[in-house]
Amino acid sequence: MTVVALSGGVGGAKLVSGLADILPPGELVVVANTGDDFEHLGLHIAPDIDSVFYALAGWNDTERGWGRAGETWQCMSALGQIGGETWFNLGDQDLALHLERTRRLRAGESLSAVTAALCHAAGIATRIIPMSETPVPTVVHTKDQGDLAFQHYFVRERCEPVVTGFTHRGAAQAEMPRALAEVRDVEAVIVCPSNPFISIAPILAVPGMRDWLKGLGAPVVAVSPLIGGQAVKGPTAKMFAELGLDVTNAGLVAHYGGLLDGLVIDHADGQNVHDLSVATAVTATLMQTAEDRHRVADIALSLVEAIKEHVGS
């Protein structure tokens, strides 16, 4: 049995980590968003792959909520001393990943191959597969500042500009990684509680991705990133509102446009369950502890089973 998870960064990585813990080793395949990827200081940075990677290696900083545990910032500090760009904070340990990835990419390896090699070296059994071998950078259209590269919007401008839409540049030419074609016996597709616009939409924008997901013949279940009309972290709710969408799970299901068969929602939103056109399961979706992550992962997989039984009956 194989479970495919679509994931963005930190929020998605929590559920990925929960799924990896409760599934037998090697049965989880993560399709990671690379719409946030960018070139910085000459390095290929892949924030979402890295968040998933660190979570699965057990190297993530659970207190700070991103990056590596025990991280130091000596290089950035020294970079500031010589007039370098320091608005995007790269930790000393984290730099190793960007250096090694960039070195391998320049040597001609594909992003999938590099990611697989890094996972192998770190002893990660879960397959992390980037959504595309080629860059599909998210461009954020804003009301007052025009088009912004994703990290300029996200980190430099701290998500403050009002968003009017997104372009997934290069999506039309993007190819699904070959590694996805080798994924067999998929029993469940889980859409992580990542930002639907900037984490999941880029994945779905890769030509063939929606068809591939549907063609797997497995139920597609999302865990909602919303809790009582708010996002746990990041600009998800703010974006819903700025785009004129309902900041609700019904809005989320509509946004995914027929992709979902089921949705795991929080107790706070349990009263609106009948507004949804998909199967639902209700739990506490906030994931702070390993127990939380295992519970949410388990609920999502149980909803998949329930949907299968319902279809079968």
Of 37-45, 135-143, 216-224, 251-259: span binding a copy of itself (CB under 8 A) = 37-45
Q: Is 102 in the site for a copy of itself (CB under 8 A)?
A: yes
Residue 267 interacting with a copy of itself (CB under 8 A):
no
Q: How many residues in the shown chain lie near a copy of itself by CB under 8 A?
A: 33
User: CB burial class (10 A; 0-12, 13-18, 19+) of residue 85?
Assistant: exposed
Q: Tokens for 278, please give them.
A: 């998909």
Q: Which is nearer to a copy of itself, 124 or 304 (CB)?
A: 124
Q: How far apart are CA 190 and CA 183, in angstroms?
A: 15
Name the β-bridge partners of 149: 139
Cα 300 to Cα 116, 197, 254, 306: the distances in Å are 26, 21, 19, 10
Binding mask 56-95 for a copy of itself (x = CB under 8 A): ------------x--xx-xxxxxx-xxxx------xxxxx
Q: Map the footprint of a copy of itself across residues 201-230, applying CB under 8 A.
A: none
DSSP string, 164-232: EEEEETTTTT----HHHHT---EEEEEE-SS-IIIIIHHHHHSTTHHHHHHHTTS-EEEEPSEETTEES
Among 113, 122, 241, 268, binds a copy of itself (CB under 8 A): 122
| Min separation Cβ 163 and a copy of itself, Å | 30
Tokens of 41: 């200081």
Span interacting with a copy of itself, options 116-124, 164-172, 177-185, 199-207, rule CB under 8 A:
116-124
273 is a site residue for a copy of itself (CB under 8 A): no
Site residues (vs a copy of itself, CB under 8 A): 41-43, 68, 71-72, 74-79, 81-84, 91-97, 99-100, 102-103, 106, 117-118, 120-122
